[in-house]
Chain A
Amino acid sequence: MNRQDEAQRGKDEPLARKAQELLRDSAEHLDAATRSRLTRARHEALAEMGQGRRARVFSQWAPVGMVAATAVLAALLWIGEPVPPGPGPDVATVIADRDLAPDVATDLDLLLAEESLEMIEDLEFFTWLDANMSTEELQAELGAIG
């Protein structure tokens, strides 16, 4: 350090010392409302401390949980739904057993049968047929077709 620096420091020091005294004094003599707001701010910040810890624990274990959940889902999709050992009772039987109207059971059975899909495609035609022709006329028509 040369003489010029020392002289500069000698000049600076009284100002720095007085500024420090004043600044620290002003910091120590804050009004009550400001002191209270600072205390509140500190408590709010400290409340984050616990939350932050919990969030960090969660963020540490979250990837593990996600991997486990994905593995379980993949296993379920891989295995698929178990196939029942034999053919179960058809819907009509079940509903008839429960004393429901046989017509409802038959309709449901028809709807659930594979063939009914074709019928659904021509539903408008069958509705028209039902409205405009009696059973006898229909039978006669079918007999004529062969």
Chain B
Amino acid sequence: MYAMNDMALALNTGRISTGLEQRREGSTLDHSRSMDQFLAEVEKRAYRMAVISVRNRDDALDIVQDAMIRLVRKYADRPGAEWRPLFYRILNNRILDHHRRQTIRNKMLAWFSRNENAEEYSDPLENAPGPATIEPHRRMAIDDAMGSLEEAVRELSARQQQAFLLRTLEGLDVATTAATMGCSQGSVKTHYSRAVHQLREKLGDHWL
């Protein structure tokens, strides 16, 4: 009788543990899928943000990839709602690191007088535009306006750039932007307001 009970218990325990394992595997898959969806959703905007700041496509791609890897390695277990501020915080830190390294590199190059203006190789295929959905003349106007905006944004200070791009391109609210930038909401408002004011001065009313 006891043996029968033990067998039944063992079978039940086995079933429960298999069920738990399956649920755990399922939750891991769900988690992985959620992370995939999140990264797919932010990757293009993150790249645009990085390329505006660092002015180099390859460096921008490396920075975005590094931010993705760091997010997955360190914060994949955090709730999905926290991923966005964490990801952009990592991205902004990578961008600042890049600027610091560039500054040091430029100083070294100036020191050794080897600052050659090497032309960056540009692959025409890589520069081919994405799927065309609008007329060429309209596209050209948009590209021109975008070019002017990019130039003006690059002239902003790092904090103003962050505040402006996080609020405008990523659409984060003031509180999330503050959490991402690691400052108060008041500072975000100040940085953003100064950024817009400076952009309006640079771009002029005809740009609008």
Contact = CB atoms under 8 A, between A and B. Distances in A.
B126 A34 contact: yes
B104 interface: no
Interface in B172-208: 193, 196-197, 199-200, 203, 207-208
Interface in B79-129: 123, 125-129
Consensus secondary structure, chain A interface: helix
Contact of A29 (B68, B130, B169, B203): B130
Interface string A1-36: 000000010011011101110111111111111110
B71 A14 contact: no
A124 interface: no
Given A24-B169, A30-B130, A41-B68, A46 B47 contact: no
Contacts of A22: 142, 145-146, 149
The number of chain A residues touching the other chain, given as a range, is: 35 or more
A24 B45 contact: yes
Interface string B146-158: 1001000000000
B146 A45 contact: no
Nearest to B71: A45
Contacts of B28: 53
A25 B142 CA distance: 9
A31 B61 contact: no
A44 B43 CA distance: 13
A42 interface: yes
The number of chain B residues touching the other chain, given as a range, is: 35 or more
A27 B169 contact: yes
Interface in B41-62: 43-45, 47-48, 57, 61
B32 interface: yes
Nearest to B60: A34
B146 A26 contact: yes
Contacts of B193: 8, 12
Contacts of B208: 14-15, 18
Given A15-B199, A27-B44, A35 B130 contact: yes
A19 B168 contact: yes
B148 to A, nearest CB: 9
Nearest to A8: B193
Contact of B128 (A24, A25, A31, A44): A31
Nearest to B70: A45
Nearest to A42: B39
Contact of B196 (A16, A29, A31): A16
Contact of B200 (A15, A45, A53): A15
A94 interface: no
Contacts of B39: 42, 45-46
Interface of A: 8, 11-12, 14-16, 18-20, 22-35, 37-39, 41-42, 44-46, 48-50, 52-53
